[in-house]
Amino acid sequence: MKLDLIDTYQIYVEPFHVDFTGRIFMGLLGNHLLNAAGNHSQKRGWGIGALNETRHTWVLSRLSIEMTSMPKQYQHCQVKTWVESVMKLFTNRNFAVLDEDGNPMGYARSVWAMIDMQTRKPCDLLSLYDGDICNYVVPEEQNVCPIAGHGRFRFKDAQLARTIGTYYSDVDINGHINSIKYIEHILDLFPRERFEQGIRRLEIAYKTESYMGDSLSFYLQPVQSGEESCEPKEIDVEVRKNVSEESAGEVVCQAKIIFN
Amino acid sequence: MKLDLIDTYQIYVEPFHVDFTGRIFMGLLGNHLLNAAGNHSQKRGWGIGALNETRHTWVLSRLSIEMTSMPKQYQHCQVKTWVESVMKLFTNRNFAVLDEDGNPMGYARSVWAMIDMQTRKPCDLLSLYDGDICNYVVPEEQNVCPIAGHGRFRFKDAQLARTIGTYYSDVDINGHINSIKYIEHILDLFPRERFEQGIRRLEIAYKTESYMGDSLSFYLQPVQSGEESCEPKEIDVEVRKNVSEESAGEVVCQAKIIFN
């Protein structure tokens, strides 16, 4: 049976998955997107399980989510996901989040690399398994993802907001700090009031892994808006590990938050 | 249609829900149990939605989980849940966690009170809705939950292990620190090695609510075992909010962890 190029993944918003406004936490929405991606890959022979046999694995490089409305407690939604394009070292995967009636609530874009688990070096996606992945790229007219692409970050006067330790609950099965946990820790930098209207867009670029026991330092850089009197609605965040008096540490990830 | 007294709730262990050993995080297992409980109540007219109409809500008072084996990544399991007994101010709800073949992996016990949302005072469960809840108590022979009941805590020389702030991701739709987040923060007190063999039993007693912005201080008290040379496998934890030089703060919850 030939599978559709676009997969549908059902999500249900559990009571413990919503914030104080009753909307799903952005990190948990990201988690659902990654599950939808994993599911789509796995059904097409490109899941982690199959890849592990040849010592390959997927690494998430970028994730940008932009929502016009956030799923609410007890809501049933669906995530559509598909492969937009494949290059030598990266593949672009897009997502649409739809409500019960199929109306779009938002979209997301992601970039993935494939690495060799032993060397940790990227692989050539176009030659792996004879380029089979190219069979899953959707025709252009089906690639409906009307949100901006991933932006570039330029940090020049970011201010240290918080340094935290990393613990047992932060770590995934690979021993790395879980990519979703970074999103949680980043959002935890902001006061309650900032979430009353919700988040419109989150972008995150993963640069290097961190591990249980690493310290993470979070630097904030407001992106200037015209209205200087208002709290800026757009903020860039750089996360560095193991910053000390002697060392500027190493960039782990960079993110942009745009509040409504 | 008359519903069975015992409900079955399916769980699937997602990749992001497992720790570095590949077993589900205890907090997330707790989350599944609470969802199973919510689902069971809701189908019988005792869910949060129905209760909110009369300004009542459930409050979790105790939760004890004891596992002989923990669900693993990609595993499909089921949670059975039922009402063991109802008293004036509390009801006991039990759980069994079964693997794909119906073999028990562990059990859990919980205690719930019903409160009036305006006065925050407990209600008489036996008179609410004419004692309808008593219709859902299982006959004794169906109440199979072969784990110890909730114990008592006695703190006398607990040592401060960590004080943390509470942030956006800690807070649920009621504005309280989410009951599952306490479990995460408690387990985060322990080093990685403690989790290699997994956790056999977790008990938690919720005493009072805390809110975003409260500080939480965690005090550890090892429970002495015969072998003084070994790390104790059983540790009690007391969580106090807003401890300061002037104040011992207020007890938020107390927990016991027994590692394998």
Domain boundaries, given as residue ranges, for chain A: 7-142, 159-259
Lowest mean pLDDT among A5-9, A97-101, A118-122: A118-122
**Which is higher by pLDDT, B80 or A56?**
B80
pLDDT at position A129: 83
Query: Exposed/middle/buried for B21, CB within 10 Å: 0-12, 13-18, 19+?
Result: middle
- Which alpha helices (H) appear in B150-246, and where do they start and end? 179-187
Q: For B159-259, CATH number?
A: 3.10.129.10
pLDDT at position A142: 95
Tens of pLDDT along B25-56? 999 999 999 999 999 998 888 776 677 777 88
Percent of chain B with pLDDT over 90: 83
pLDDT at position A172: 94
Rounded to a whole number, what is the distance in Å from the CA of A247 to chain B's nearest CA? 25
pLDDT at position B3: 80
Check if the beta carbon of residue A258 is closer than 8 Å to that of residue A201: yes
Q: What is the DSSP string of B91-134?
A: EEEEEEEE-TTS-EEEEEEEEEEEEETTT--B--TTTGGGGGGG
Mean pLDDT of chain A: 93
Lowest mean pLDDT among A251-260, B122-131, B161-170: B122-131
**pLDDT (mean) for A126-150:** 92
| Reported confidence tier of residue A233, pLDDT bands at 50, 70, 90 | very high
| pLDDT at residue A55 tops 90 | no
**pLDDT (mean) for A186-194:** 97
| pLDDT at residue A7 tops 70 | yes
Q: Which ipTM value was assigned to this complex?
A: 0.93
Tens of pLDDT along B219-243? 999 997 655 556 789 999 999 999 9
Q: Which residues of B touch A (CB under 8 A)?
A: 14-16, 18-22, 25, 27, 31, 34-35, 38, 48, 73, 167-175, 178, 180, 184-185, 187-190, 192, 195, 212-213
In angstroms, the CA A180 to CA A95 distance is 17
- Which alpha helices (H) appear in B153-233, and where do they start and end? 179-187
**pLDDT (mean) for A29-34:** 97
Q: Do A19 and B184 touch (CB under 8 A)?
A: no
Q: Do B18 and A187 touch (CB under 8 A)?
A: no
Q: Which CATH number among 3.40.50.300, 3.20.20.10, 3.30.200.20, 3.10.129.10 corresponds to the domain A7-142? A: 3.10.129.10
| pLDDT at residue A224 tops 90 | no
| Reported confidence tier of residue B110, pLDDT bands at 50, 70, 90 | very high
In angstroms, the CA A54 to CA A33 distance is 25
Q: Do A188 and B173 touch (CB under 8 A)?
A: no
Q: Do A173 and B25 touch (CB under 8 A)?
A: no
**pLDDT (mean) for A99-116:** 96
| Reported confidence tier of residue A229, pLDDT bands at 50, 70, 90 | low
Q: How many CB pairs under 8 A join A and B?
A: 96
| Reported confidence tier of residue A226, pLDDT bands at 50, 70, 90 | low
| Reported confidence tier of residue A225, pLDDT bands at 50, 70, 90 | low
The pTM score is: 0.94
pLDDT at position B24: 98
